[in-house]
């Protein structure tokens, strides 16, 4: 039986966070060492489209470069991101509501895998980068339990020794987190993020 996930709560929460992103945040750091807030937003713009195309089994336009530029950057961020990104997040969630999205194979960013796995990857990307954005802009990611536990299961599996090769370039080294920590904190640790990360004080 195919396991499906509802991406709507997480996508809606990340869209909510966008209202708290000020222009003076854009050049600031995020938990992703190579991304400023603007570059992170550019990444969210690209991944939301890439995983929508994956759900609909649509071949990306040739000019799209699959999921935007290979390296998200502040310079590439669409000036209309405040309007465009919420729409892309809504489209992403809607695409994965179709049961057919979870069948067969799916491709995103040049990688092809079972659609059931691709949907879990899409949720993981939205949640983890939503947390990155929240922390970088002094906000809190309020996540529904189903999304939290799905991401915890995904990141815990990725952290197993037999999956070490597969996480290279996707997650950083596991950050130790107490076993009794909240589920999202444990998911973050498995994904190589420090749940206590905060922007440096000026």
pLDDT 10s digits, 7-44: 999 999 999 999 999 999 999 999 998 899 999 999 99
pLDDT tens, 152-182? 999 999 999 998 887 877 898 999 999 999 9
Q: Summarize pLDDT for 92-145 with one digit per residue, the tens.
A: 999 999 999 999 999 998 899 999 999 999 999 999 999 999 999 999 999 999
Query: Tokens 């690209």 identify what position?
Result: 46
Is the model more confident about 183 or about 65?
A: 183
* Cα–Cα distance for residue pair 38/102, rounded to 1 Å: 31
| Rg of the chain (C-alpha set) | 16
Cβ neighbour number for residue 118 with a 10 Å cutoff: 22
Which residues neighbour 21 within 8 Å (Cβ) at sequence distance 6 or greater?
37, 41, 133, 137
CB atoms within 10 A of CB 57: 15
């Amino acid at each position: 039986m195919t396991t499906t996930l509802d991406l709507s709560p997480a996508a809606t929460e990340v869209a909510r966070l966008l209202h708290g992103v000020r222009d003076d945040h854009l050049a600031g750091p995020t938990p992703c060492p190579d991304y400023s807030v603007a570059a992170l937003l550019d990444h969210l713009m690209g991944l939301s489209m890439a995983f929508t195309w994956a759900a609909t089994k649509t071949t990306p336009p040739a000019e799209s470069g699959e999921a935007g530029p290979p390296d998200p950057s502040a310079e590439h961020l669409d000036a209309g991101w405040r309007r465009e990104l919420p729409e892309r997040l809504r489209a992403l969630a809607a695409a994965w509501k179709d049961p057919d999205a979870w069948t067969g194979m799916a491709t995103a960013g040049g990688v092809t895998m079972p659609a059931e796995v691709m949907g879990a990857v899409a949720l993981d990307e939205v949640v983890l980068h939503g947390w990155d954005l929240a922390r970088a802009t002094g906000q809190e990611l309020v996540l529904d339990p189903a999304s939290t536990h799905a991401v915890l299961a995904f990141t815990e599996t990725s952290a197993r020794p037999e999956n070490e090769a597969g996480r290279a370039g996707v997650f950083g080294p596991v950050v130790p987190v107490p076993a009794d920590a909240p589920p999202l904190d444990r998911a973050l640790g498995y994904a190589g993020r420090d749940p206590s990360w905060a922007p440096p004080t000026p």
